[in-house]
Structure 1
Amino acid sequence: MASNRELYSMMNSLNFTGSVTQPDGDRLSELKVGEQPAKGFEFCPYKLIRKYPFLYCSKQDSDDLHECMKLTIFENRTWTFFYLLDPGPTNREPLLLVPSSQVEEYLDYVSSWMKKKFSVPADREREKFFITFGEMDTPLPRFIGHANSHNAVESLKPQVLKLPKDDLTRIGTAALEHYKTKMDVIYTTFRTDKKKKDVEAARLKRFERHKRYGRMMKRAQRYLGLRSSITEHANSSRIPRMGWNGNIPAPFRIEGNVRFVCVDVEAWERATHIVTEVGLAILDTRDTKNIPPGGADVGYNWFPLIKSHHFRIREHLDKVNRQFVAGCPDSFTFGQSYVVSSRDISDVLSTIIEDKESDDKRPIVMVGHDMGQDLKYLKKVGYNIWKAPHFSDEVDTKSMFQRYEKSINGRGLQGVCQDLRIPGHHFHNAGNDATYTLRAMIAMAVNYASQSFARQNDLDHGDSDPGEWSDGATDDGGPPVKSSEPVPQYNNRAGSGPNW
């Protein structure tokens, strides 16, 4: 769990405020349902005041104050309620907020009632009771109603579902991340110790996942000669002191002379255990060695070096997806499609992926868009990539793009290609998708390298973002990382086989 000092630091960086000005304080009774206050209006989470006795009182006082509050919190008193919906994926209940001025007034009342002083805590703890919203055009709370009893509060909660939802798509990625983190901190302020630990554990897990995405990006760059390892960097005389762009060859040694092997598998929408197409796209990094990736920071010059393959499964030629995606198995753009029987497809894939026709056995880096699913589908057609002797690393372009955009949400391949300025058509053909996925990896690696040099970070080759997306200026991506082979799960029915 984060220490109080860490939470205070986070709250301070997220524009919490400790002042007590209430620009709309004189017109609370005139608010209409759904109305939003002006920026600068100060709020306190309703649950925070309810848990005040246990968070800010000694053990001796907490029980007495808790009993007092049960009796007095609605005694001759009406609270003004606002709400915000949880912007994260956790489906937490709406955040109920009350004006900070009402909280201070009530604590003064309780102090008088108990003949003992209770007030908003001082210093950094005070900031939890005075929170403003709306910075960076993030959502403002909406008025939901007044309540003078516990039942009245409960009757307000269902009304939230009938009121407008904030359009989070209108704000930028950085603002959205800022807002979600801020809301995480607010929810944490009134959680029990166990829940605080859960929230903090989830936050740290998310941070580490994002850092892994950055390391994946860096390893891909090292394989393409767009980044050096830490050891090589310290001793290299090839570091471009005046910057680098795509019009000159990659500035560093191509590490490992790897073969990028991108896979895409199409399954039938009516029975997803049935594989109808398999696509492969191969990029041999030895072919890119002396070729500039090209201007516009996309890597167009490397696209023609990709060798693409498309296979349709003979037994399932009649199965074409139409309901959820527009399948187009007859529209392979990058060569000739081949029809292969289900009993032969494994051998065909093994020959291409493992380069069995060559004696030059070099490392294989598997690439995919949300690749875990595609590798599992390969097992369904009888090919186990984890048995391939030279399989050494994985690159998932869905995760890479999340790092590239600093977004917690993944994007589909077609949207990624559009954002990266990669022209394409006939998506959902396995051969095309494998090729576009490999192009997307190239574009992100090239563009990210160009940005690093443009920021004049070539000396430390690090990361200008010190936040949750940074994997450290001294991190070169580390050693290769590949997933563990999935363990089959068996049905309970007698005689049934494994489910992958």
Structure 2
Amino acid sequence: MNPPIDPRQGLPIYCLLKTVRRWPYAKTPRASQGVLKRFFDRDPFFSQPWDIHVAESSQSGNVCGIIVPLEQVKAFFDRTEAETAVPLSAADPDLILDLGHEPSNVKIRFIETSRSWNDYEKLLKSLPNQEHNTTSSTERVLKSTKLTKAEKKRRTQMQNRLNMLKSATELVGAGGDYAFFSIDIESWEKNHDIITEIGLTRYLPEPSNEAIARDTEISSEHIIIKEHRFYKNGDYVADASGNFEFGNTRYVPLANLKADIASFMSTPSTKERQFVLVGHDVNVDIEYLRKLGCNLEANNFAMVFDTVEMWKAMAGSSNGISLGRLCAQLDIAAWNLHNAGNDARYTMGAFIEMARRFRMDPEMQEVQT
């Protein structure tokens, strides 16, 4: 099958295979994603015949990315659309592999036609190790092309996000070596200097849990600052302060807050573990607590994770995401958001789920830029 020609460069048009696999999750509403799973899940996706090519550096010969002809992708999308009535936008330019300003730096080589996941897995193992060590398919394709400062910064950010996701997977998999804590802060909608609620969740995985959290390993607390209990939201964001889903709300005076948080983190069960901090836009919550005289960084966290940045790595996107939307994307039931205790719990759930999905899907472990 001869791929169509890109009129801009006079070259065949290809798509990164990982971009095609992630397409429903990046480009379709969540309601449609469940319908599309039976086409884009690993086994049905690879049961389609794919003419597997690799893009290689013309200078070093290193493999830059696994690609397939756009024509095959369009045919697959057409069949999927016919059965699901979900538009997949094959004309979207994001689908096409961009060879950059110097396409002569790239050599396209046909490998073989894959007709199953087993075929594709064998093919992966036959490729040079560079494919598995590459930091970014597009980065290698454009390696000898002069990059703008902004582009270099963007790629560095994407690589840092991927490293965060990898580290999360490794630490969760280490089981009893780490104690994970998530935080969430709610403030008064009319003056964000007035902190009203604090949510805390503690996750103590057992060595054999394989990143699947059990209720016995997770505990959560919801604190309302006693002096600020009459500051209620409801005009701009929902007031869910009275709807903690995971226990009883406690009213804590400002003077006792620092000791209360320390007590939640320092227990006999956490004594021999290294501390890890998790948050959704975590730096914002750290700064809020600092204003209250609580310096979380004094706990000497082994690592700090931001679920927003982890999602960007998974989705191959630079766009942020709300906690509610993140839970929806990960199929986590989230009730009464904007209650700090609930939000801390859902943040931890999202962290664990992203680590689990990343570990289970080797293809996801290539960064998408």
1:346 aligns to 2:258 (yes or no): yes
Kept in 2: contact 1:350–1:383 (CA 8 A) = no
1:202 aligns to 2:202 (yes or no): no
1:290 aligns to 2:208 (yes or no): yes
Kept in 1: contact 2:158–2:367 (CA 8 A) = no
Kept in 2: contact 1:173–1:405 (CA 8 A) = no
Partner of 1:54: none
Partner of 1:370: 281
Residues 392 and 15 (structure 1), Cα distance of their counterparts in 2 relative to 1, 3 Å cut: farther
CA distance in 2, matches of 1:420, 1:337: 27
Query: Which of 346, 353, 367 pairs up with 1:436?
Result: 346
Higher strand share: 2
CA distance in 2, matches of 1:176, 1:269: 40
Kept in 1: contact 2:316–2:368 (CA 8 A) = no
Q: Deviations over 1:421-464 (max 9, x none)?
A: 11111000000000000000111111111112xx6xxxxxx93x
Kept in 2: contact 1:279–1:309 (CA 8 A) = yes
What secondary structure does 1:343 align onto? helix
2:153 is aligned with what amino acid? K
Query: Which of 374, 377, 400 pairs up with 2:310?
Result: 400
Query: Which of 355, 358, 366 pairs up with 1:448?
Result: 358
Residues 417 and 209 (structure 1), Cα distance of their counterparts in 2 relative to 1, 3 Å cut: same
CA distance in 1, matches of 2:156, 2:305: 17
Kept in 1: contact 2:181–2:202 (CA 8 A) = yes
CA distance in 1, matches of 2:319, 2:240: 27
Partner of 2:160: 212
Kept in 2: contact 1:263–1:278 (CA 8 A) = yes
Residues 16 and 322 (structure 1), Cα distance of their counterparts in 2 relative to 1, 3 Å cut: farther
Partner of 1:258: 178
Kept in 1: contact 2:316–2:367 (CA 8 A) = no
Relative to the length of structure 1, the TM-score reads 0.45
CA distance in 2, matches of 1:392, 1:448: 21
Q: After TM superposition, where is structure 1 displaced by more than 4 Å over at least 4 residues in a row? A: 170-179, 356-359
Kept in 1: contact 2:200–2:344 (CA 8 A) = yes
Kept in 2: contact 1:351–1:357 (CA 8 A) = no
What secondary structure does 1:391 align onto? coil
What root-mean-square deviation, in Å, do the aligned CA atoms of Structure 1 and Structure 2 show? 3.4
- Which residues in structure 2 correspond to 1:446-485 (within 5 Å)? 446-452=356-362, 463=365, 465=366, 467-468=368-369
CA distance in 1, matches of 2:348, 2:282: 12
Deviation, structure 1 residue 362: 2.4
CA distance in 2, matches of 1:266, 1:172: 39
Relative to the length of structure 2, the TM-score reads 0.61
Partner of 2:105: none
CA distance in 2, matches of 1:258, 1:399: 21
CA distance in 2, matches of 1:198, 1:451: 33
2:350 is aligned with what amino acid? A
1:319 aligns to 2:310 (yes or no): no
- Which residues in structure 2 correspond to 1:98-497 (within 5 Å)? 177=94, 200-225=148-173, 254=174, 257-285=177-205, 288-291=206-209, 299=212, 301-353=213-265, 355=266, 360-388=271-299, 390-452=300-362, 463=365, 465=366, 467-468=368-369
Q: Which has the higher contact order (CA 8 A, sep 6+)?
A: 2
Q: Deviations over 1:164-218 (max 9, x none)?
A: xxxxxx8779957568x96x97xxxxxxxxxxx9971111111111111111111
Kept in 1: contact 2:199–2:220 (CA 8 A) = yes
2:291 is aligned with what amino acid? K
CA distance in 2, matches of 1:429, 1:176: 40
2:232 is aligned with what amino acid? V
Point out where structure 1 has 5 or more consecutive residues left out of the alignment.
Answer: 1-13, 20-134, 138-169, 186-196, 226-253, 294-298, 456-461, 469-500
CA distance in 1, matches of 2:297, 2:150: 30
Residues 359 and 447 (structure 1), Cα distance of their counterparts in 2 relative to 1, 3 Å cut: closer
CA distance in 1, matches of 2:316, 2:148: 20
1:365 is aligned with what amino acid? V
Partner of 2:36: none
Partner of 1:49: none
Kept in 2: contact 1:259–1:364 (CA 8 A) = yes
Larger radius of gyration: 1
The number of aligned residues is 251
Query: Which of 2, 8, 14 pairs up with 1:17?
Result: 8
1:386 is aligned with what amino acid? E
Deviation, structure 1 residue 374: 0.4
CA distance in 2, matches of 1:428, 1:323: 13
Point out where structure 2 has 5 or more consecutive residues left out of the alignment.
Answer: 11-70, 75-86, 102-144
Kept in 1: contact 2:307–2:347 (CA 8 A) = yes
Deviation, structure 1 residue 332: 0.4
Kept in 2: contact 1:264–1:374 (CA 8 A) = yes
1:391 is aligned with what amino acid? F
CA distance in 1, matches of 2:327, 2:189: 24
Partner of 1:24: none
CA distance in 1, matches of 2:328, 2:274: 31
